[in-house]
Structure formats: C-alpha cells, structure tokens
Structure 1
Amino acid sequence: MRELVFYRSDIGKCYIENFLDSLSGREAQKVIWVFKLIEELENIPKRYFKKLVNTEDIWEVRVDGRDKTYRILGFFDGNKIVVLNHAFIKKTQKTPKRNIEIAENRKRDYMRRK
C-alpha cells in the first residue's frame, strides 16, 4: 500500500532512527507497529495517522505509549511514499508550531535535493 522512508539530512543524519534508538524496546516496538499499520492498511484510523491542518501538507503519526505520546511528522512524496522527518514527545494538546516548522523545513530540503 504505502512505503515509509526516513528523511536524511544532507550530511546523512537520520532523525527518526535517532528517535527510535532513544526509546525503550517496548516503546520502539509500539512505534514500529503503527508504522506497519500505515504501510499495510488502506484506511488508517485517524488516531494513528492524520493530515495536520494549516501546514504545508504535513502528516502526523501518533503513538500512545504507557505514559507518553509520541509524534512523528512527515509528508507524502507522490501517492505511496511517506517520508518521516521529525519526531518528538508530545506534551500539549496541540502540535507545537516549532515542530511543524522543523518538518516543513526538512520537507523543503528533501524536495530540493530529490
């Protein structure tokens, strides 16, 4: 259905891999489970994957951990490829503007270097 890829900076830094490495084994498994849902399901429940309004076509992956909520932001490259480019622990109801700006900047960088 879809393919998830991780954005890499021009010097090869992969923010999503670094984020996953920072999680406990159990929490990383939850994130990877949600990634598989996004790749395999045609209709993904919005509680796991949704487009953020008032953004440059940024999408949000949501993973609820035991006591934390993880967010991974990204965008579509075409119809089937989702490029994930920023991850953070969400502490507020609304996605912080700074996190959206980071995802949008990395999207522009990706498209420029594509």
Structure 2
Amino acid sequence: MPGKSNYVWVIYQNLKRDYIGKHISKRFEIKYLPDAIKFLESIKTNVAEKLIYYISKTRVINDTGIFKKLKNSYIWEFRAEYNNNEYRLFAFWDKQQNTFIACTHGIKKKTQKTPKKEIEKAEQLRIKYFER
C-alpha cells in the first residue's frame, strides 16, 4: 500500500477527475502549502477524504457551509465535521489571480470559535507566500 501522502494524492486526483470532469468549469485551482499537506497526512484518512471532497465540490459550486470567509480577514476556511469533531483547513485567494487558492494549514477544532492564533498563523503564512 502506498504511503499516506501518496494515498491522499491519489484521492485528490480521483475526485478531481470524477467529480469535476471535463464539462464542468472550475472556479479556482488549489495549491497546498507544506503545513496543509502535513495536516492532511496527520488526520484520519476518512477526514482527509472528506476535506478533499469538499475542496473539489467547492471548486464547482459555492457552498458557505463548507467554504467560508472569516470575518475581518483575508482567510477562508474549508469546514468538515466527522464523528462530532470539527476540522478546518485554512486558505486564501491569490491576489494576482482570483482563480487560485492556497491552503495554509489545518486544525481539529476544540472550541466553538475558530482560535484567533490559527487565523493569525494563516495570515502570517499568507504574507510569507506573497513575499516570495
């Protein structure tokens, strides 16, 4: 069996092919920053599959239940619930092209509100990304 990293990549490619297909236009492309990949590799496979499915779904339709902009921030979050646990994968739009999203990192939520330090971390990764 391939390593988990390869497994997540295979899942993503299959969802991209099967769900989006050639006849449906995509709203954006996705880039996973290193911390986002580490997060997807660290969580249960079923949770990673669900997040990746939601990302693929969001590329085609606008669903604020699974992809939402955080208030007073440039950060967005992909949202998934699994076994009564909330998971978040943070992201931002590339300011040069509004058809490109970069995922920064993720968390398993333990509080009702998204922790401010996680939003700040995503903001810092966003700033670092644009400094390149």
Identical counterparts, % of pairs: 35
Is there any run of 5+ residues in structure 1 with no aligned partner, and where? 8-13
Among residues 100, 109, 116, which one is paired with 1:97 in the alignment? 116
Highest Rg: 1 or 2?
A: 2
Q: Deviations over 1:55-114 (max 9, x none)?
A: 2x111110111131100111100211011102001111111110011000000000010x
Is there any run of 5+ residues in structure 2 with no aligned partner, and where? 1-26
Root-mean-square deviation (CA), in Å? 1.0
TM-score by length of 1: 0.86
Whether 1:75 aligns to 2:101 is no
Structure with larger RCO (C-alpha < 8 A, sep 6+): 1
Give the Å deviation of 1:40. 2.1
- Partner Cα distance (1:16, 1:88) in 2: 9
Among residues 38, 41, 49, which one is paired with 2:58 in the alignment? 38
TM-score by length of 2: 0.75
Higher helix share: 2
How many aligned positions are there? 104
